[in-house]
Amino acid sequence: MRRKLYDAVFYLLTGLCALLSVNMLYHLMRFLLSNGLPLLYRQLSGLEQTAILEPTKLQQMIFSTLFLTGVTLFFVLPFAISAAIYLHEYARENVLAQMTRFSVQTLASIPSIVYGLFGMLIFVQLAGFGMSILAGSGTLSLMLLPIVMTQTENTLRQIPHAYREASASLGATPFETIKKIILPQVTPGVLVGMLLAVGRIMSESAALLFTLGTFVRMPVNRQTGMFSVLEAGTTLTIRALIEFKEHGNLEAAAAIGVITVGVVIILNVISKGIVWIFEKN
């Protein structure tokens, strides 16, 4: 009787938490759509012209956001995956490994503004990158390394140890086991970590204010006319913050928020599709 009561209470609490989460998401989307969609409609139909919502500027912000996301993932994924594989597959369970995991967990809880100040000191000033895509992606890589690394290691723990034993019994080396057995199994979990990283990149603003900049422009070198990671730019989230904080334009900020949510949804659908393909294979 007591066990059934505990089950009923747990079921009720989890159901309430789920309803609360859905309710919060509903009100958030309602706020963004009710404040942002009317301005987007007036902008696209020509009834009103808002400078920050001009098609050229929107293209520049969207491209800078996607460019920053790609460069950040290019840096963070190899290091995070390699570190997770080393800790789980090669490192011994000793004090050093425990300290490493504790350090990673601590880094994941540091506020983004601290990373922004650190990135400004290291990448912008000492490294001489200036306010640029490279400085912003370097800062975000430090922020996302613990998240992707932890997600990858958790996925590695879910792979049965019998797979490794069976591979070793067939004469495979540890490297061959990781390459042919472990990595195919861990790919969906890595993609989930990448999805979390993309969401964090798209939503970040504090760390990028000090490293990327706020000027709306294409990250193109004026001399060569080619895209460059050493050029500055701005993301959709930063611009929404600037529009609301400095100009008090709630509608423009909400409109940019609607576009940001749309880009995130598209990226999530693509990532989910990739995960589904790997799981089917």
pLDDT number for residue 281 = 63
Helical residues (DSSP H) of 122-222, grouped into ranges: 133-157, 161-169, 174-177, 183-203, 206-209
Instruction: Identify the residue with better confidence: 18 or 224.
Output: 18
Average pLDDT estimate for 227-254: 84
Q: pTM score, two decimals?
A: 0.85
Q: Give the DSSP per-residue string, 9-75.
A: HHHHHHHHHHHHHHHHHHHHHHHHHHHHHHHHHHHHHTS---GGGSHHHHHHHHHHHHHHHHHHHHH
Residue 135 has a pLDDT of 92
- The residue count of the chain comes to 281
Lowest mean pLDDT among 50-59, 68-77, 256-265: 50-59
pLDDT, tens digit, 9 for 90 and up, residues 1-30: 677 777 888 888 898 998 998 899 888 888
- Report percent pLDDT > 90 for the chain: 8
pLDDT digits (tens, 9 = 90+) for 131-188: 999 999 999 998 888 888 888 888 888 888 888 888 888 888 888 888 888 888 887 7
